[in-house]
């Protein structure tokens, strides 16, 4: 059986990941591809519990280990079993979020974070990461109308600018696995650009 494909949507606050994800999944299903939709932190009972804990004020490393715990459980319980059965997985955030937010955003050691990500995921790498890129001012404006934001949604603008810079550097470093999409475009244009990247995996 052919292994499923693993697609991740990354980006800062208000980039539209949760809106885009089901649209891409629907397009794949219309072509006969079995798809699992999931998110980080979440996708398992452990991950959903972590979402609640992350609303508290936390030490940056404590925050990181909570994200890693949720990621390890999601990888073992949902992602790897699905891929092994030939099912595609689309995930709202994965390991790159830790590098962007805790590494570039909070200033934690990137080498240590990469090592810990590898331990948590068994060095699982997405086949495709779609980076939804937008100016943080616009992203936060969009996000402001949505209740239940995780704590990082209320950080200072400078934090979100560092996160964006980190994401763009990660994308530039892996052009064979990452695609940058301008998330300031109308949703239809964002979806079209993202789908072009996903469709290439069908070939």
CATH of the domain at 89: 3.40.50.300
- Measured CA to CA, the distance from residue 92 to residue 152 in angstroms comes to 16
Are the beta carbons of 177 and 125 closer than 8 angstroms? yes
Strands 6-11 and 128-133: parallel
Report if residue 86 sits inside a domain.
Answer: yes
DSSP 8-state assignment for residue 75:
I
Report if residue 89 sits inside a domain.
Answer: yes
The phi, psi pair for 118, rounded to 5°, reads: -65, -40
Report if residue 146 sits inside a domain.
Answer: yes
The phi, psi pair for 180, rounded to 5°, reads: -95, 130
Order of strands, edge to edge, in the sheet holding 35-39?
35-39, 88-92, 6-11, 128-133, 178-182
Structural domain that includes position 51: 6-202
Report if residue 1 sits inside a domain.
Answer: no
- Measured CA to CA, the distance from residue 193 to residue 203 in angstroms comes to 17
Q: Is 61 helix (H, G, I), strand (E, B) or coil?
A: helix
Beta strands in 55-193 (DSSP E): 88-92, 128-133, 178-182
Number of domains composing the chain: 1
Residue-level pLDDT at 153: 56
pLDDT in tens, the chain (203 residues): 789 999 999 999 999 999 999 999 999 999 999 999 999 998 999 999 999 999 888 999 999 999 999 999 999 999 999 999 999 999 999 999 999 999 999 999 999 999 999 999 999 999 999 999 999 999 988 887 444 444 555 578 899 999 999 999 999 999 999 999 999 999 999 999 999 999 999 97
Report if residue 94 sits inside a domain.
Answer: yes
pTM of the entire structure?
0.92
Q: Is 103 helix (H, G, I), strand (E, B) or coil?
A: helix
Residue indicated by tokens 């995930």:
91
Residue-level pLDDT at 154: 59
């Amino acid at each position: 059986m052919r292994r499923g494909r693993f697609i991740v949507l990354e980006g800062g606050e208000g980039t539209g990941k949760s809106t885009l994800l089901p649209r891409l999944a629907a397009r794949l299903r219309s072509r006969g591809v079995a798809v699992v939709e999931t998110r980080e932190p979440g996708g398992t009972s452990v991950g959903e519990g972590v979402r609640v804990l992350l609303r508290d004020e936390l030490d940056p490393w404590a925050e990181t280990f909570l994200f890693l715990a949720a990621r390890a459980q999601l990888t073992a319980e949902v992602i790897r079993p699905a891929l092994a059965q030939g099912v595609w997985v689309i995930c709202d955030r994965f390991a790159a979020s830790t590098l962007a937010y805790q590494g570039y955003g909070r200033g934690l050691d990137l080498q240590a974070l990469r090592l810990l990500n590898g331990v948590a995921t068994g060095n699982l790498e997405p086949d495709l990461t779609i980076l939804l890129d937008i100016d943080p001012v616009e992203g936060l404006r969009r996000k402001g109308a949505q209740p239940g934001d995780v704590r990082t949604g209320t950080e200072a603008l400078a934090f979100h600018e560092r996160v964006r810079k980190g994401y763009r550097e990660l994308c530039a470093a892996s052009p064979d696995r990452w695609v940058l999409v301008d998330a300031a475009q109308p949703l239809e244009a964002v979806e079209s650009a993202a789908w072009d990247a996903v469709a290439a995996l069908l070939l």
